[in-house]
Structure 1
Amino acid sequence: MEHVGSAREGEFELKISFICLLYNPVIPFRAMTNTGPAGVEGVWAEDFCHLSHLHFYNPVIPFRAMAHVGPAGGEFDLFEHRSIAVVYFIAGILGVSGNAVIIRIFSKYNPISGVRSRTHVQFAFGNILVVVGAFAGGLSSIFGRWLLGETGCQLYGFVTYTGGMIATTMALVQCVERYYAQNNSEYDKNGGNGFLCVLAWLYSLSVAVAPLVGWNSYTAEASGTACGLNHMVDDWSHKSFFIALPFITTVLMMFAISAVRSAILKNDGPDAVCPAHAQDWFRDYQLNWIAVANLLTMCVGFAPYFYFSVWSVRYPGRQMTMLASVTSPLVAKLSTLFTPIVYCIGSRKFRAAFAASIFGEEAPRTFNADRKSE
């Protein structure tokens, strides 16, 4: 009986060895274990097959070892880096050009009268700052490594985070502005808009400068082709930043949602228009929903950064996968492409001016006063 048992055990081990050889899992398992602090040192494919022999009747041990690999693992090859580069360049070209056209239209045709147009112009400018870094990220992705050095990394982080914060904050300001503008006919004259814009810029610049002066820091991301906040340092300076930023943003967002909700509920209807704004391309109800759309765009675009902050607090000092590290900047940059669509949907006149700007035509300076088709 012992000989029969030994023969069966040898047969099973031979089958496992054949499966390991046939599958040849060296590359995926080595990629999982070669991930710095989040990996398991010494667990290679050969070790897995060896552990399978030793623990065939108790296979929990090798799988438990693999489970401790954690959330990190995996690297991009050059083809994958260059695929990401294509997305970066598409986002950069379309994002910069689309938002630049918005600024041009607001500056040339004044589709929203008074000081209310400021927040829309600055929102588009913030989007440009967000997406302009796509060219540096795309160029680095072509070669699979960061090309601009430490100084370029700090500059990239400062510019993109300034843009991200000003775009997010201006989306919140637009919601608050809708409440005040709709309930105060003198809003365009009392300077409240300028005060909100100054506060938004001070807050955004403070957040972007903080990593340069010691509250968190900018460093190369796991992909090695872009720079962002440093989540690999496990100290209170870095943790507190990841706690404070999403908390403050959430509080401001709740306030903005409450304000725009009140503006929508108090609106007199699609046909209501303030006499002072009779020549505007957008009515109050359209501006209310544009504010909502811009806020939703920012929520979707920067949701991965919110998760990144929570993940950094939960797993301090652990490296992310390359795919996870490129998701946040790519989604944020791609979100800027939807801003022109929001305004074009809201107004026929804006669509005409936008199309004229894109195709090099001269848009008419006067439009049909009939607003029913808008």
Structure 2
Amino acid sequence: MNPANESRAGRHEERSVFAVGTYKLLTVIIGTIGVFGFCNNLLVILLYCKFKRLRTPTSLLLVNISLSDLLVSVVGINFTLASCVKGRWMWSQATCVWDGFSNSLCGIVSIMTLAALAYERYIRVVHAQVVDFPWVWRAIGHIWLYSLAWTGAPLLGWNRYTLEIHQLGCSLDWASKDPNDAAFILLFLLGYVEHFLKLFLNRFQEQKDLEPFGD
């Protein structure tokens, strides 16, 4: 474990970042988000399972988003909520790693599923194509594997999960000056840019191909 991270995790007990009233407000906000997030996402999953007419490939992508958001409400918000109540990070370094990993994993899953959902809408409208369940299951599998690959790398030593500046939760070490850590952050961000750039270029090319027909 990096000694700098351990000392950073240890200094949180020495001072508070926010005023007492701010911590109380954050407790209410995060607690409300957690309760509504849990109830609403659980309801989506239950409705999908109960009503057969809702079991469509597109709805399955929405269920995947609800599942990842539900996991955040169950395993992600609790540590931050308790820290807001206490006014500081009150958990161990191992818990910090778990908090950073679980929130990052579910966050990437939600973002990538939204990208897949946007692509599904695009091919439905532009190409009049409808995705089937095998396509959606493959997409979901790839999304989780992609997310696990990026969030698992810090567990193996490429970057790390550390206490954030507000000292209420943990995330990647975005401020590290180490070249390897900086390379991870850069490649991580470029991964998002690549996906959206491909969608933009494909859209641009298709519009260009349709121009002669429009004239």
TM > 0.5: yes
Residue 112 (structure 2) pairs with residue 150 (structure 1) = no
- Give SS of 2:162's match: strand
Residue of structure 2 in register with 1:210 after alignment: 153
- Give SS of 2:168's match: coil
Residue of structure 1 in register with 2:213 after alignment: none
Residue 51 (structure 2) pairs with residue 129 (structure 1) = no
Deviation (angstroms), 1:257: 6.1
Residue 180 (structure 2) pairs with residue 237 (structure 1) = yes
Tell me, yes or no, if the aligned pair for 2:120 and 2:131 is still in contact at 8 Å: no
Tell me, yes or no, if the aligned pair for 2:49 and 2:55 is still in contact at 8 Å: no
Residue of structure 2 in register with 1:10 after alignment: none
Q: Which amino acid in structure 2 is aligned with residue 197 of structure 1?
A: I
Residue of structure 1 in register with 2:28 after alignment: 86
Mapped partners of 2:204, 2:68: distance in 1: 24
Mapped partners of 1:170, 1:163: distance in 2: 10
Greater RCO, CA 8 A, separation 6+: 2
Residue of structure 1 in register with 2:212 after alignment: none
Q: Which amino acid in structure 1 is aligned with residue 111 of structure 2?
A: T
Mapped partners of 1:200, 1:260: distance in 2: 22
Tell me, yes or no, if the aligned pair for 2:65 and 2:113 is still in contact at 8 Å: yes
Q: Which amino acid in structure 1 is aligned with residue 18 of structure 2?
A: F
Tell me, yes or no, if the aligned pair for 1:177 and 1:193 is still in contact at 8 Å: no
Q: Which amino acid in structure 1 is aligned with residue 148 of structure 2?
A: L
TM-score calculated relative to the size of structure 2 = 0.77
Residue 48 (structure 2) pairs with residue 106 (structure 1) = yes
- Give SS of 2:174's match: coil
Aligned length: 189
Tell me, yes or no, if the aligned pair for 1:129 and 1:162 is still in contact at 8 Å: no
Deviations 1:122-167 (A, max 9, x none): 0111222334422210111111221221111111111111110000
Deviations 1:23-74 (A, max 9, x none): xxxxxxxxxxxxx9xxxxxxxxxxxxxxxxxxxxxxxxxxxxxxxxxxxxx9
Q: Which of 70, 95, 106 is equivalent to 1:163? A: 106
Residue of structure 1 in register with 2:12 after alignment: none
- Over 3 Å counting, the alpha-carbon distance change for 1:261 and 1:144 in structure 2 is farther
Mapped partners of 1:117, 1:260: distance in 2: 24
Q: Which one has a larger percent helix, Structure 1 or Structure 2?
A: 2
Tell me, yes or no, if the aligned pair for 1:210 and 1:216 is still in contact at 8 Å: yes
Tell me, yes or no, if the aligned pair for 2:65 and 2:110 is still in contact at 8 Å: yes
Q: Which amino acid in structure 2 is aligned with residue 90 of structure 1?
A: T
- Over 3 Å counting, the alpha-carbon distance change for 1:129 and 1:258 in structure 2 is farther
Tell me, yes or no, if the aligned pair for 2:158 and 2:181 is still in contact at 8 Å: yes
Deviations 1:165-224 (A, max 9, x none): 0000000011122344564667426x2222211111111111111111111100111122
Q: Which amino acid in structure 2 is aligned with residue 91 of structure 1?
A: I
- Over 3 Å counting, the alpha-carbon distance change for 1:214 and 1:194 in structure 2 is same
Mapped partners of 1:142, 1:228: distance in 2: 20
Mapped partners of 1:141, 1:206: distance in 2: 30
- Give SS of 1:148's match: coil
Deviation (angstroms), 1:111: 4.3
Structure 2 residue ranges without an equivalent (≥5): 1-7, 9-15, 206-215
Mapped partners of 1:226, 1:160: distance in 2: 10
Tell me, yes or no, if the aligned pair for 1:85 and 1:141 is still in contact at 8 Å: yes
Residue of structure 2 in register with 1:139 after alignment: 82
Structure 1 residue ranges without an equivalent (≥5): 1-35, 37-73, 263-374
